[in-house]
Amino acid sequence: MRLKPITIGNITTENNVFLAPLAGYTNYPFRRLCKGYGAGLCYTEMVSAKGLKYGSENTKELLYTEENEGLCAAQVFGNEPDTLRAACEHEAFAPFPIVDINMGCPVPKIYKNGEGSALLENPILAEQIVRECVKSGKIITVKFRIGITDDKLITAEFAKRMEGAGASLITVHGRTKDKIYAGDVNFAEIEAAKRAVQVPVIANGGVFSNADAERLMRETGADGVMVARAALFNPQIFCELTGVPTESKLEMFRKQLKWTGQVCDERFTTVFMRKMAAFYVKGQKGAAAFKEKLFQAQNPEEVWAIAQQIWQE
């Protein structure tokens, strides 16, 4: 795909291929891995504004980063403008110059709380949230879906509202809330958002290859693409999209295991890297047997030993 820098407020990214915020996965070691493979901007896992307000240690842990990560955006969710602004101003957000407001999460618990994609049904509140968060001094962006259902598509109007409230970039997931992550991406709705605003528009949905990314850019006119689930199965998709050299799957796994172990405890490292290895082995001959072995591993050393069996060089 055609690479270009994206200017977000007063910051310019290296390119227009972004890693989506993925709950449970886009921690610092994984973001570092994807950044090394060419991702122009990575997002933290979605964090709760209320969690920060009430001092949740788990919420703070989701925002762990190190100086060597470089540019990274934090994503936050909530539905109270003052609480979201306070989150932007919280010390845990200090390393992140860009804060993305989640207005697309389809998870029932989030939606029923009036957060995530529920804000698509309350555009006035959504505007108030963006305006308030802009006052924090952070660069504010918004990620949202094209609507709740196909008979209630709101993309262009919602995009204009977010830009008018002060958002410096919008990301449009081209599916409705009820589709979750299934079904075709609605290119026309993303294109409508692009025509409606002057700020950069990032297209999200269905990118599993360079051909997918090129089609998404061509059909929507978007300024860039955001990669989500494909990165879980193959972080080196960013190499394909940006031209960064690839390396062996074993070396990729070794680095991620090492970096995770450096910042997380042994139990988390073991469980997390078992899950990642299960993603990476998908489609490989003997995958089921390897997964059975993986989920019996009790420590990072055992996980690494099995990984070496899976990806023998």
Task: Judge if 270 and 237 occupy the same domain.
Answer: no
Convert the pLDDT of each residue in 247-299 to its tens digit.
999 999 999 999 999 999 999 999 999 999 999 999 888 889 899 999 999 99
Task: Judge if 142 and 22 occupy the same domain.
Answer: yes
Task: Judge if 199 and 270 occupy the same domain.
Answer: no
* Domain CATH number, residue 265: 1.10.1200
To 10 degrees, the CA torsion angle through 47, 257, 239, 243?
A: 120
End position of a domain, from candidates 212, 242, 272:
242
Q: Is 34 a catalytic residue?
A: no
Task: Judge if 264 and 177 occupy the same domain.
Answer: no
Convert the pLDDT of each residue in 169-185 to its tens digit.
999 999 999 888 888 99
Q: How many CB atoms are located within 10 Å of the residue 198 CB?
A: 7
Report how many domains make up the chain: 2
Burial pattern 232-270, b for ≥16 Cβ within 10 A else e, equals bebbbbbbbbbeeeeeebbebbbbbbebbbebbeeeebb
Task: Judge if 225 and 292 occupy the same domain.
Answer: no
pTM, two decimals, is 0.95
Task: Judge if 278 and 140 occupy the same domain.
Answer: no
Q: Which of 42, 72, 88, 105 is catalytic?
A: 105
Q: How many CB atoms are located within 10 Å of the residue 275 CB?
A: 15
Convert the pLDDT of each residue in 142-154 to its tens digit.
999 999 999 889 9
In-domain check, residue 270:
yes
Angle in degrees, CA 308, 260, 171, rounded to 5: 110
> Are 37 and 239 in contact, with CB atoms under 8 Å apart?
yes
Q: Which of 184, 164, 174, 189 is CA-nearest to residue 144?
A: 174
Range of the domain at 290: 249-310
Q: Which of 96, 101, 206 is CA-nearest to residue 143?
A: 101
Convert the pLDDT of each residue in 190-245 to its tens digit.
999 999 999 999 999 999 999 999 999 999 999 999 999 999 999 999 999 999 99
